[in-house]
Amino acid sequence: MIRNPLRARRDRAQRRLAEVFLARPDACHFGWDTARAARISSGVLYPLLARMEVDGWLESGWEDPAPVDRPARRWYRLTELGRLELSALLSEEAAK
């Protein structure tokens, strides 16, 4: 079976993202910090976050109150469904 290298890269990024979110499942995660912790670029991160939010795995909002010296940051937090799905994803990978 020949694997698509783009899909393999996306899957690897999703696993790294899962590890970051599950390390602190109740925390609000900000984009830049999350990208650095997961070692993925913003061009990979934000489409994954958007897809996970549409699927109901994440909820998001804006930093409130917004700091005076910079724009407000968007935060992302795992939902219960997200915890279950990302845990299953990592368990599935560990079983391979």
- Distance CA(15)–CA(11), nearest Å, equals 6
- Distance CA(66)–CA(84), nearest Å, equals 31
pLDDT band at 2 (very low <50, low <70, confident <90, very high): low
- Distance CA(87)–CA(19), nearest Å, equals 9
Give residue for tokens 């968007």.
74
**What is the pTM (predicted TM-score) of this model?**
0.86
pLDDT, tens digit (0-9, with 9 covering 90-100), for 15-48: 999 999 999 999 999 999 999 999 999 999 999 9
Cis? peptide before 65, omega within 30° of 0: yes
Q: Give the list of residues 6+ apart from residue 60 with CB closer than 8 angstroms, or none.
A: 49, 53, 74, 75, 76, 77
Q: What residue type is 66 in one-letter code? A: A
- Distance CA(4)–CA(9), nearest Å, equals 9
Note the Cα 92 to chain centre separation in Å: 17
